Amino acid sequence: MSQKGIMSAINVFLNENDVELKQKIWRGINRRRNGSHPITIEKIPTTQDLKTILQYGDVKSRALFLLVAVSGMRIDETLKITLDNIDLKSRTITVIYDTAKGGRARTTFFTKEAKEALEEWIKRRKKFMKIGYKKSKYLRDELTKKGYAFEKKTSGTAIKWIIKKNGRVVSDGKLSQIDNRIFPFTGHNARQMWNRLLEKAGAPYNEKDTQKALATPRYKMHIHTIRKFWFTTMKSTDGNKDHINTIGGHTSELSKAYERYPDKILKKTYDSYSDVLSIFSDLNKVNDKIDEKLGEQREIIASLQHRNTVLEQQMHLTREMMQTMAQQLEVLQNSSMNGGGK
C-alpha cells in the first residue's frame, strides 16, 4: 500500500508539471510492485500477551497502553487526549476533530481497570511533568515556542532548570497546566517505551520481522498491534459491527455521510462486550481470592486472640480463688491449733 501511495503521488506530480509517461512504463512499474497488500509480518497480541508485557511497565506505560488496548484509539490519538476530553466517571473519551485521524470526531470508551490505571497515573502526572520539562530538550524547545524561557543553573554535577514566562518564575502548579495532555510526551517516546517492554518480556514477544524488503527490522508485535487487539477482540463478539467500527474510527465514506449513532447506543454496545477486553481480570480474581483468604485468616486470628484473652481472665480469676482458698485454709489451721492449745 505504501508503494501504491508513493507511485500515485509521483504520477500526480508529473501530471502537474506536464510530464506524461507512456502507459507501458506504468504497466512495467506495476508488474514489479509487490501488490496492494502489507508485506510485513506482524503478530496481534492476545489478552495473555498484553498481561505479560504490561506487568513490566510502570504506572505511566501501563495506563497508556492499557487505554489503547481497551479504547480502540490509535497511539497518536491517545497522546493528544487532554484532561478536558476525558470523563473518568462515565469512562468516556471525546476524540475531537483535530485529534482524530482524518479529522472525524468520535466518542470512545474504556474499562473499569483502565479507569483505575488512569486515576493512578493522573496522581503522579504533575511530578512527571515537573521532571520531564526540565530534562527533555524536545519539551523545552516546545515550551520555548510558546514564549517560555529556561534558565540553567549548575551546582557541582547537579543541574537545575528554572522556567520563566514574561520574566516570572513558573510555579510547579502552573507548570502542570501548560500542557494538559494526559500523556505529555511524543509518539517516539511511546514507541520506545513499548519496545522496552517487549525486550523485558523477552521471547516470543520481542521477535522481529527481518525480511529483506524492509528498510529496518521491526517488532512483529509493534505498537499498532495493540489497537488491532481491540478490533480483533471486539469483532469476535456478537456486538454490532457497525457500532464497533464507529467507536474505533473505521468508517467508509458512505457511512461518514449517512450513519450517525448516538453515544448512548455506542456505549451500550461497548459495555455489553467490554468484559472480553479485561487484561488483568484473572489477576484481579486471584487477588480477590487472596484478600478473601486473608480476611478469613484475620477472623480466625481475632477469634483466637479473643479466646486467649478470655482464658487469661479465667486463669487470673482461678489464681485469685486459689489464693483466697489458701488464705482461708491457713486461717482455719491457725484457729484449730489455737483451740487445741487451750
- Does pTM top 0.75 for this prediction? no
CA-nearest of 51, 7, 40 to 224 is 40
Are 137 and 155 contained in the same domain?
yes
CATH code for position 94: 1.10.443.10
Note the pLDDT tens digit of each residue in 215-240: 788 899 999 999 999 999 999 999 99
Are 129 and 12 contained in the same domain?
no
Note the pLDDT tens digit of each residue in 115-172: 999 999 998 888 887 777 767 777 778 778 888 888 888 887 777 778 888 888 887 6
Are 33 and 152 contained in the same domain?
no
Record the cell numbers describing residue 129, joined without a space: 511533568
Are 107 and 254 contained in the same domain?
yes
Domains in the chain, number: 3
Are 239 and 120 contained in the same domain?
yes
Are 173 and 312 contained in the same domain?
no
Q: Is 53 left (phi over 0), alpha (psi -120 to 50) or beta?
A: alpha
Are 175 and 150 contained in the same domain?
yes
Are 92 and 118 contained in the same domain?
yes
Is 335 inside a domain boundary?
no
Are 101 and 189 contained in the same domain?
yes
Are 2 and 28 contained in the same domain?
yes
> Can you give the C-alpha Rg of the chain in angstroms?
34
Is 102 inside a domain boundary?
yes
Q: Is 146 helix (H, G, I), strand (E, B) or coil?
A: coil
Is 140 inside a domain boundary?
yes
Strand partners, 108: 93
Structural domain harbouring 13: 1-37
Are 82 and 6 contained in the same domain?
no
